[in-house]
Amino acid sequence: MAQIFDPLPISCSEHVLCCYVNATSKIQIVRISNVANWYFERVVFPGQRLIFESLSEALLEIHSGMMASSILSDTIPCDRLRLEVELENSLELDSLILDDDAAPESPLLPSVFASAE
């Protein structure tokens, strides 16, 4: 997954795919500030899912609050937000289900249309 804005530094070789969901009713600002030569900050609306690339040692800061004020409400290690393992397991399960669902095709037209001559 390519991040168009603020890509990870080229010197960072181990990227992880992460997912964060804003499960609150307030707008949040998420930020990663502990990676050298990289700036990551996004607005996450209530119920929104944010998928991003990061380093496993990065810390995602969750800021919430009202207008003109912001409170650091949580810090989550990006390693705990890692999406790759779950995604790989899901894709494997989907391919198994698709293989088992191979059934003979049903007729394209219902019998009502076939006898309407």
Asked if residues 83 and 53 have their Cβ atoms less than 8 Å apart, the reply is no
In the DSSP assignment, the letter for residue 80 is G
Distances in Å between the alpha carbon of 81 and those of 56, 70, 101, 107?
9, 23, 32, 46
pTM: 0.64
- Token pair for 58: 């990065």
Q: Which helix (H) or strand (E) holds 50?
A: strand 49-55
Residues 107 and 48: their CA atoms lie apart, in Å, by: 41
Q: Per DSSP, what are the bridge partners of residue 19? A: 51
Spatial contact of 33 and 5, defined as CB atoms under 8 Å apart:
no
Q: Where are the domains of the chain?
A: 15-101
- pLDDT for 113 equals 46
Residue 40 has pLDDT above 60, yes or no: yes
| pLDDT for the residue 90 | 63
Residue 83 has which token pair? Answer: 């999406």
- Whole-angstrom distance, CA of residue 69 vs CA of residue 88: 39
Amino acid letter, 98: L
pLDDT digits (tens, 9 = 90+) for 94-116: 666 655 555 555 444 444 444 44
Contact 27, 45 (CB under 8 A): yes
